[in-house]
Amino acid sequence: MKRAAFLDRDNTLIYDPGYIHEPEKVELLEGVPEGLKLLKEKGFLLIVISNQSGIGRGYFKEEDFWAVNGRLQELLKPYDVQIDGFYFCPHKPNEKCNCRKPKTLLVEKAAKDFGVSVSESVVIGDKDSDVEMGFRAGCRLAVKVGAPPFDNFLKAVEFVLSST
């Protein structure tokens, strides 16, 4: 079976000033292209799992979410790396859905769609809910980026690869 890196998008891969929905504002964070390329080279599928309550709150539309993803892919092209799949929860936190992190429905769906062994997979995100989702889903490892010791994505990836 395959293994995946389940990745948060906003403030993990791209800078998010708050409910990012304009493709022209997408900026890769430090170490992201290099880290994604390393994960790919080590055989990980790259799958984004993202809470997008801005859709449910009416701040932006689902097509804006996809446009931002498209811009992310464009920015990664020069590095010869692409995200394999995007999964998102559009619900507000108070809707108590099963797809909002730290719940695991989106990991389960992605694992089924891609034939991924969750127990051999990892999670990298910027929030405690990302790490909690990884542990709840039974992933091998879940790390939080954005604070020491993983103050950039590449450092988090290097740790993940040294631990798997």
Mark whether 10 is an active-site residue: yes
Q: For position 164, what pLDDT does the model report? A: 78
> In a structure prediction context, what are the per-residue pLDDT tens digits for the chain, which is 164 residues long?
899 999 999 999 999 999 999 999 999 999 999 999 999 999 999 999 999 999 999 999 999 999 999 999 999 999 999 999 999 999 999 999 999 999 999 999 999 999 999 999 999 999 999 999 999 999 999 999 988 889 999 999 999 999 97
Domain that holds residue 111: 3-116+126-163
Peptide bond preceding 93 in cis form (omega within 30 of 0): no
Residue 130 is among the residues annotated as catalytic for this protein = no
pLDDT at 148: 84
How many separate domains does the chain show?
Answer: 1
Q: Which residues are annotated as a binding site?
A: 8-10, 16-19, 50-53, 89, 91, 97, 99-101, 126-127
138 domain residue, yes or no: yes
Q: Give the residue numbers of the binding site for Mg(2+).
A: 8, 10, 126-127
Asked if residue 135 belongs to a domain, the reply is yes
Q: Which of 8, 80, 113, 151 is catalytic?
A: 8
Asked if residue 58 is part of any domain, the answer here is yes
- Report yes or no on 121 lying in a domain: no
For the question of whether the overall pTM of this predicted structure is more than 0.75, the answer is yes
What is the Cβ-side half-sphere exposure of residue 88, based on CA atoms within 13 angstroms? 21
Q: What is the CATH number of the domain that holds 90?
A: 3.40.50.1000
What is the rounded CA–CA span in Å between residue 103 and residue 164? 24
Query: Catalytic pick from 10, 64, 113, 128?
Result: 10
Q: Summarize the annotated binding site for substrate as residue ranges.
A: 8-10, 16-19, 50-53, 100-101, 127
